[in-house]
Amino acid sequence: MSRKKALLVIDMLNDFVKPDGALYIGEAAQRVAKEVEAIIDKARQEGMPVIYICDNHRADDAEFNMFKSHCVKGTKGAEIVEELAPQPGDYIIPKRRYSAFFGTDLDATLREMGVSELVLVGVCTNICVLYTAADARMLNYDVTVVRNAVASFSEEAHEFALKEMESTLGVKVE
């Protein structure tokens, strides 16, 4: 079977990307949204599956002990930013934890499609991107992270995570 790639668009949601969002990550988010848009367009042209990974919390989610309330199921903040709106045929996978694999059907979905390589874009580099990349590598997927298409609250944490993914997880950072 030929190696098949899928694009994971991580947490490009109003609460992280829009200035009035509950956990707005700053100007970097706007820059990243542009990059992600171009990458999604290219993926669609190439027939690559586009999978949106979406933070989707309970109102009393345990994660809110660490972070203020965000991306609560059913709220505007939990919606994908409109400029990156999914199209028919795209996949949407909600999650409650940092890793897109934890407690979701992402792995089963990828296996059904015969996917063995993942391209990761979105936010936050050192949180959901990092821990999704970690689980993907534990499951033996090949992983590429696009440097200009990921961002975080802190530039330092962003750079640390890219380095960690590259040197410890064997992720290709391009």
As annotated, the active-site residues are 11, 95, 128
Size of the site for Zn ion (CB under 5 A): 1
Residues 6+ apart with CB under 8 A from 111: none
**Identity of the residue, 55 or 135, whose beta carbon is nearer to Zn ion in the bound complex:** 55
**Identity of the residue, 86 or 94, whose beta carbon is nearer to Zn ion in the bound complex:** 94
Residues 6+ apart with CB under 8 A from 69: 22, 57, 59
Structure tokens at 69: 């309330």
From residue 51 to residue 70, the character string flagging contacts with Zn ion as x (rule: CB under 5 A) and all else as - is ----x---------------
Structure tokens at 170: 């064997």
Q: What is the DSSP string of 61-104?
A: -GGGGTS-S-SBTTSGGGSBPGGG---TT-EEEEESSSSTTTTS
User: Which residue's CB atom is positioned nearest to Zn ion?
Assistant: 55
What is the closest distance, in whole angstroms, from the C-beta atom of residue 70 to Zn ion in the complex?
6
Structure tokens at 3: 């190696």
What is the closest distance, in whole angstroms, from the C-beta atom of residue 5 to Zn ion in the complex?
26
**Identity of the residue, 43 or 80, whose beta carbon is nearer to Zn ion in the bound complex:** 80
Residue 121: HSE in the Cβ half-sphere, 13 Å Cα cutoff = 25
Cα gap 90→12, rounded to integer Å: 15
What is the closest distance, in whole angstroms, from the C-beta atom of residue 37 to Zn ion in the complex?
22
What is the closest distance, in whole angstroms, from the C-beta atom of residue 149 to Zn ion in the complex?
20
Q: Which range touches Zn ion (CB under 5 A), out of 30-38, 49-57, 78-86, 156-164?
A: 49-57
**Identity of the residue, 2 or 65, whose beta carbon is nearer to Zn ion in the bound complex:** 65
Binding-site ranges for Zn ion (CB under 5 A) = 55
